[in-house]
Amino acid sequence: MILYFDICAVPVYLIIIVTTLFRGMTKGRSNRLYLAVASLSFAADLCELVEQFAFYGYTLNMGFVVWVKMSEYLYFITRNAVNVAYLFFVISMTKTWYKIKPFWKKLLLLLPYLVVISMLAMNEATGCVFTVNDEDGYVRGSLILLVYAMAACYLLVGTTYLVLHRYTLDRGAWYSLMAMYFINVGSVMFQLVYPHYLIESFATSLTVLFVVLFVQRPELQVDMSSGLPAYRAFCNEMGKIKVTGHDTQIVIVNIRNAAEMRSYLKEAYYAYLHVIDGEIRVFARREKVPYELYFEEPGTFYIILDDEKYNPVQAVPELRDRVRKNSNEIFELGATPNTRVVTVTFPKEIDSLDELLRFGHNFSRFADYSRVFSRATDIT
């Protein structure tokens, strides 16, 4: 076996994962799913390398048989999990997660993967996927093609989904997401013809890298001053929601005196912003409310709630108290944040993206000064 391609994939995956973590691109469903795709692909590559090294340089005794079996099982588990994670990533990127919100729909999408897991659970007794022994080495099982068929299900669903929702993505992002499917199909077919060249993992690493370059672009995803998800990413996500037409609840939190606080507090101000981000994350996890948070300088948070029935007004008092409790430093310095919160359902209440963005910049000027929380209909 020619292992050079598998070995070359290792630094590519490491660079992708380390830079993703270093740049803070771990917040939000899409970023987490992308990190899962990269991590699972990396794990599958390592499992394949371990298995091949066992054959490459050593006599296969019983100890190595166990080692190869473990590597092979982990390879099938992680490699097929990549298909699931990538499909969910595609759905998240097209801003159509609401379409699979019911549990039975998620279960339906997981079904091909569960078939593979069931086959692996029975493999020791049936040998339907593979067998490994000290005489014949690794031998494919009679139902190995069923594993490929389950992977093909994700290929068909993913490509169809991207075609149907192509208008939610720009051209470069769409081609990059499609590349994962077509380049991997090409690499699998190449390996069937030339089995000594293990290029599948390397091809996957390149397609995951394409996603970094053309989809998960850090200069668009992360606000460089605060390290929080950026306003430009919010605008991009709202554009997708406009295309889908699905009513989505947006919470806008504006610190009216943010510019003065930033100039006075400097680094302590950005620490305060991260306290807000952290408290919102803790509260949302406790309440089981999926959300995505974005930040615009000098002091506006935009929160996309995936639960349109949740009433954010009940969260405001507790969150204000928790933030104040964990931000004693800025209050001791004499700073008093002047905060206003508004909710708007887009596109139901404001149907123009430009009007929504303009509203987010100006609502605090027209909100009732005696109230922290308002609804868009009270202001418009």
Spatial distance between the Cα atoms of 214 and 306, rounded to a whole number of angstroms: 25
The confidence score (pLDDT) of residue 242 equals: 92
The confidence score (pLDDT) of residue 12 equals: 94
- Which CATH number fits the domain that encloses residue 206? 1.20.1070.10
User: 86 and 128: one domain?
Assistant: yes
pLDDT per position as a tens digit, 86-143: 999 999 999 999 999 889 999 999 999 999 999 999 999 998 999 887 777 778 888 9
Q: Cite the DSSP H helix spans in 142-230.
A: 144-164, 171-193, 200-214, 218-221
Spatial distance between the Cα atoms of 13 and 18, rounded to a whole number of angstroms: 8
- Which CATH number fits the domain that encloses residue 333? 3.30.70.270
The confidence score (pLDDT) of residue 58 equals: 57
| 192, two tokens | 């069937």
| 307, two tokens | 């639960």
Domain count of the fold of the chain: 2
18: part of which helix (H) or strand (E)? helix 4-22
DSSP result, 40-79: HHHHHHHHHHHHHHHHHHS---HHHHHHHHHHHHHHHHHH
The owner of tokens 């091809």 is 203
The confidence score (pLDDT) of residue 192 equals: 78
Do the strands 339-346 and 373-375 form a parallel or antiparallel pair, or are they unpaired? parallel
User: 64 and 206: one domain?
Assistant: yes
Write out the chain's pLDDT in tens, 380 residues.
678 888 999 999 999 999 888 877 888 889 999 999 999 999 999 998 888 777 665 555 666 778 888 999 999 999 999 999 999 999 999 999 999 988 999 999 999 999 999 999 999 999 899 988 777 777 888 899 999 999 999 999 999 999 999 999 989 899 999 999 999 889 888 887 887 888 888 999 999 998 888 888 877 888 888 889 999 999 999 999 999 999 999 999 999 999 999 888 888 899 999 999 999 999 999 988 889 999 999 999 999 998 777 888 888 888 888 888 888 777 777 788 889 999 999 999 998 999 999 999 999 888 888 888 889 988 88
pTM reported for the whole predicted model? 0.89
pLDDT per position as a tens digit, 229-272: 999 999 999 999 999 999 999 999 999 999 999 888 888 899 99
Among 182, 216, 250, identify where a domain stops: 216
User: 118 and 233: one domain?
Assistant: no
The owner of tokens 């099938």 is 76
User: 235 and 207: one domain?
Assistant: no
User: 227 and 345: one domain?
Assistant: yes
Among 184, 216, 248, identify where a domain stops: 216
Among 187, 216, 245, identify where a domain stops: 216
The confidence score (pLDDT) of residue 51 equals: 81
Do the strands 300-305 and 130-133 form a parallel or antiparallel pair, or are they unpaired? unpaired
365: part of which helix (H) or strand (E)? helix 353-366
User: 227 and 189: one domain?
Assistant: no
Question: Residue 74 sits in which domain range?
Answer: 4-216
Spatial distance between the Cα atoms of 199 and 191, rounded to a whole number of angstroms: 7
CA triple 265-268-272, angle to 5 deg? 115
User: 207 and 228: one domain?
Assistant: no
User: 228 and 120: one domain?
Assistant: no
Tell which residue, 33, 32, 178, 30, has the closest CA to residue 95. 30
